[in-house]
């Protein structure tokens, strides 16, 4: 019995000492200096740095939605009936992409009723959230706008794409001027979801509005199919109608664009066909007027994993840490009026 106990104790201490000395740096003697030097054995595998670790702290998701059809009924004109996506789920999602701050955008399914958005915005507060509402510029009173501003509203959305609406050039200009007159006193942003080709018509109008403008989802280009021969080199984005106008507006200084919702645009795996377009936007305006966004909960694409896109955006920045900071944080703070 005593021999058995002695063997058990000996085995325990031998195991303990092996684990201890495995952690201690090995000492070797330099042949020249005859002085001991510390050499740490490298681990068998060195984990690569996660792309999420490149996302700066206090980053912004500049386009996402909360949807609660039970608590807040949809508009009678809603083009689709989405699932429920509450604020709690939104915040849990944002943690998975290392983002803390969010911009709540009014989805088309709620029309002019911003109740769901405002409820979520009030719960978060303006320190970590902003809101983009929809409204009828002919029916708004200053008091309501002031109240919304206190809550954290910083913009108005004009969404023609989701509802399939088109406007004649004169009609569109008149509408944008009415919106601009309403939001200009508050320093709000006019957010446009229109096809990229429409930007050609807006190139002359936007600089005269006296407000800042942001385009949703890369400006919503109609990307051409990528052939096998083109996969390695891509295409020239300046051949797309509206792209040159978008670039000119970005360079003039009052226009921004959201790098978001690639799945609504791309036709190829890994968003390969979007890369030349995205890289040129980053080259032209990445450090000033391009903002990152997820478009969560990816309505009509529910269940999509957006993390590959987040990784893609960091990859398009090609290791430029300043550019990454601007796209994920700094540009958004400028656009949404965040006090640093």
User: Is residue 93 domain-resident?
Assistant: yes
Q: Tell me which H or E stretch contains 90.
A: helix 87-96
User: Is residue 316 domain-resident?
Assistant: yes
CB 25 within 8 A of CB 42: no
pLDDT given for residue 36 in this prediction: 34
Considering the entire predicted model, what is its pTM? 0.83
> What is the domain count for the chain?
1
User: Is residue 10 domain-resident?
Assistant: no
User: Is residue 157 domain-resident?
Assistant: yes
Per-residue pLDDT tens for 100-159?
999 999 999 999 999 999 999 999 999 999 999 999 999 999 999 999 999 999 999 999
Q: Name residue 64's beta-bridge partners.
A: 104, 296
The lowest-confidence range among 11-15, 29-33, 73-77, 169-173 is 29-33
Tell which residue, 156, 180, 154, has the closest CA to residue 102. 154
Percentages helix, strand, coil for the chain, rounded to the nearest 5? Answer: 45, 15, 40
User: Is residue 47 domain-resident?
Assistant: no
CB 314 within 8 A of CB 302: no
User: Is residue 275 domain-resident?
Assistant: yes
Work out the mean pLDDT of the chain and round it to a whole number. Answer: 86
Q: Is 242 exposed, middle or buried (0-12, 13-18, 19+ CB in 10 A)?
A: buried
Rounded Cα distance between 279 and 240, Å, is: 15
For residues 8 and 255, the model is more confident at 255
User: Is residue 48 domain-resident?
Assistant: no
User: Is residue 234 domain-resident?
Assistant: yes
In terms of residue numbers, what domain contains 317? 59-335
- The CATH number that applies at residue 202 is 3.20.20.140
């Amino acid at each position: 019995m005593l021999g058995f106990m002695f063997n058990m104790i000996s085995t325990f201490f031998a195991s303990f000492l092996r684990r201890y000395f495995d952690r201690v740096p090995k000492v070797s003697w330099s042949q020249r200096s005859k002085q001991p030097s510390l050499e740490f054995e490298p681990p068998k595998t060195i984990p690569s740095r996660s792309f999420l670790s490149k996302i700066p702290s206090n980053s912004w998701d500049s386009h996402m939605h909360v949807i609660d059809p039970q608590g807040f009924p949809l508009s009678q004109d809603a083009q689709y009936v989405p699932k429920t996506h509450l604020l709690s789920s939104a915040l849990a999602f944002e943690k998975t992409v290392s983002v803390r701050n969010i911009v709540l955008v009014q989805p088309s399914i709620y029309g002019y009723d911003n109740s769901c958005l405002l409820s979520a915005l009030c719960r978060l507060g303006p320190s970590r959230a902003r809101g983009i509402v929809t409204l009828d510029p002919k029916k708004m009173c200053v008091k309501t706008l002031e109240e919304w501003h206190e809550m954290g509203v910083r913009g108005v959305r004009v969404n023609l794409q989701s509802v399939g609406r088109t406007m004649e050039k004169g009609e569109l200009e008149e509408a944008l001027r009415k919106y601009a007159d309403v939001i200009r006193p508050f320093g709000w942003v006019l957010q446009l979801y229109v096809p990229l080709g429409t930007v050609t018509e807006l190139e002359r109008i936007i600089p005269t509005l006296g407000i800042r403008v942001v385009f949703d989802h890369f400006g919503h280009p109609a990307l051409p199919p990528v052939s096998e021969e083109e996969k390695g080199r891509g295409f020239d984005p300046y051949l797309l109608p509206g792209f040159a106008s978008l670039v000119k507006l970005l360079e003039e200084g009052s226009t921004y664009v959201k790098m978001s919702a690639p799945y609504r645009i791309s036709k190829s795996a890994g968003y390969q066909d979007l890369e030349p377009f995205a890289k040129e936007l980053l080259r032209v305006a990445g450090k000033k007027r391009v903002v990152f966004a997820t478009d969560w909960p990816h309505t009509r694409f529910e269940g999509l994993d957006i993390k590959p896109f987040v990784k893609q955006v960091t990859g398009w920045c090609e290791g430029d840490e300043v550019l990454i900071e601007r796209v994920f944080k700094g540009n958004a703070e400028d656009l949404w009026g965040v006090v640093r």
